[in-house]
Homo-oligomer: A and B are copies of this chain.
Amino acid sequence: MLYFQEMLGIAVFSITGVLAIKKADVDLFGAVVLGIITAIGGGTLRDLLLDLPIFWIADFNYIWAALFAALLAFFLTKGLQRRYRLLLYLDGLAAALFGLAATEKVLDLQLAAPLAVMMGVLTSIGGGIARDVLAGRVSLLMSRDIYATPILLGCTLYVALRDIFPTVWIAGWIALIFTFGLRSLAIYKHLQMPAIFSTSQG
């Protein structure tokens, strides 16, 4: 069941990736490649750094899921754009899932909690950043959108709760609800980072 969720998350990332660059004059090949990179970029970087087999080389179904979702997004752009807000929430949910799953994966390797949190955030936002760099867009690192911060806080919460609760699943659900809730709030209220945490103050 977790596998099915992962595939859905990959597909959602790929769709939002294609929609994000579809305003530019890009062709089918470029759009599909950028969709796939959005979907698998973060996990690829994580596996490279940890010297693990790249997850989509071990199981090519991840690429198929990203590929079909990107094709869908390319040809059904208008219908999907009408549901853009829904996709934004789904993207937030997928980001939360990937972040927490990566945190757990690193903890499973007996590595330290701060590293696990760092890898969780990287897995979650790496693909979107890679897409923005390749597409010449301003990446989320240079914006005040509240996208990465909920994941950072959520992964930190997860490693804290994991020591408290005997069952990993309870910690996981609480952290997921917290991360997704925070991100949903930011989407719903159009929140941006407060001025004291951004350079616009000085």
Mark A residues whose CB is within 8 Å of B. Answer: 21-31, 33-34, 44, 48-51, 53-54, 57, 60, 63, 77-78, 111-112, 114-115, 118, 129, 133-136, 138-144, 148-149, 152, 193, 197-200, 202
Contacts and interface: CB of A to CB of B under 8 A. Distances in A.
A198 B53 CA distance: 34
* Chain A interface, >50% SS class: helix
A181 to B, nearest CB: 18
A152 B24 CA distance: 22
Nearest to A140: B30
B63 A114 contact: yes
B60 A49 contact: no
A111 B141 contact: no
Contact of A60 (B33, B51, B115): B115
Contacts of A202: 77-78
A198 B25 contact: yes
29 contacts: A21-B142, A22-B199, A25-B144, A25-B198, A25-B200, A26-B142, A27-B143, A27-B193, A27-B198, A28-B197, A29-B197, A30-B140, A30-B142, A30-B143, A33-B141, A34-B141, A44-B49, A50-B57, A51-B51, A51-B54, A60-B112, A60-B115, A63-B115, A78-B202, A129-B134, A133-B134, A134-B142, A135-B141, A136-B142
A198 B28 contact: yes
Contacts of A33: 141, 148
Contacts of A200: 25
Listed from nearest, the 8 A-B pairs whose CB atoms lie closest are A27-B193, A28-B197, A30-B141, A27-B198, A27-B144, A29-B148, A26-B199, A26-B142
